[in-house]
Amino acid sequence: MSDTVLILVRHGETEWNAAGRIQGHLDIPLSDTGLTQAAALGRRLGSEAFDAILSSDLERALQTARPIVRHSEQTILSDTRLRERHLGVLQGLTGEEAAIRQPHAWGAFKARIPEAVLEGGETYGEFSRRVVGLIEELLRTHTGSRLLLVTHGGVLDAAYRHATGMPLSAPRDFPIFNASVNMLRHRNNLWTVESWGDVSHLPREPAMDDT
């Protein structure tokens, strides 16, 4: 059976990323830095062939995806399942603010307990199942394809853990950068991480953040 390749790209930087403010489902656009990063991704990936290009429906992801599309016949398929995790009462806060205003929710978020309830949002487990469900669907419907997914830091985290068998509760030991290129390959019912955290197309390495 032919390999299925997923190229996962995290959206470019926003002003909230730079400030350490939690975005989740809030629709924050790219900053000037993020737009520059999106243009760099366009130069990096715009000449490559993809069988389909999918993006989160949030504007920061769509703004990142648009420069990559070079051919008028190719469209961006918007999918809400590629959204960031809904972080409920933590959305809009910095980590410092969350620790003071929402200590219970912040503690649950930091503890990485899969089914710990996050008021107003998704549990870590619910979010992971959403992402993995989309990935498994793509394997069925696009077998042997090369797919570009423009998405968010939390989605990259869930996809990496699914591919490597890393538990949701384990501390993250892999990078998640704005505007990074990350490649997973599925062959003979097994996933491999072909490359991860590639920001060689950017003028400088972005800060690591996953919210």
For 85-134, what is the HEC assignment?
Answer: CCCHHHCCCEHHHHHHHCHHHHHHHHHCCCCCCCCCCCCHHHHHHHHHHH
C-alpha 41: how far from chain center: 15
Number of residues assigned to the chain: 211
pTM flag (> 0.75): yes
55 contact partners, CB below 8 Å, separation of at least 6: 61, 62, 64, 65, 76, 77, 78, 79, 82, 149, 150, 151
What is the spatial distance between Cα 152 and Cα 115, in angstroms, rounded to a whole number?
Answer: 21
Express as a percent the part of the chain with pLDDT over 70: 96
Geometric angle at alpha carbon 9, from 49 and 137, rounded to 5°: 75
**Among this protein's residues, is 84 annotated catalytic?**
yes
Please state the rounded mean pLDDT for residues 132-154.
Answer: 97
Question: Per-residue pLDDT tens for 150-209?
Answer: 999 999 999 999 999 999 999 999 999 999 999 999 999 999 999 999 999 998 777 666
Please state the rounded mean pLDDT for residues 107-123.
Answer: 93
| Dihedral angle sign, alpha carbons of residues 40, 44, 47, 51 | negative
Classify 188 in phi/psi space as left (phi over 0), alpha (psi -120 to 50) or beta: left
Categorize the per-residue pLDDT at 12 as very low, low, confident or very high, splitting at 50, 70 and 90.
Answer: very high
How high is the pLDDT of residue 72? 63
Give the residue among 82, 78, 90 at the shortest CA–CA distance from 52: 78
How high is the pLDDT of residue 1? 61
The average confidence (pLDDT) of the chain is: 95
What is the spatial distance between Cα 59 and Cα 211, in angstroms, rounded to a whole number?
Answer: 15
Catalytic residue (one of 84, 86, 152, 186): 84
The letter for the amino acid at 16 is: W
How high is the pLDDT of residue 70? 79
**Among this protein's residues, is 11 annotated catalytic?**
yes
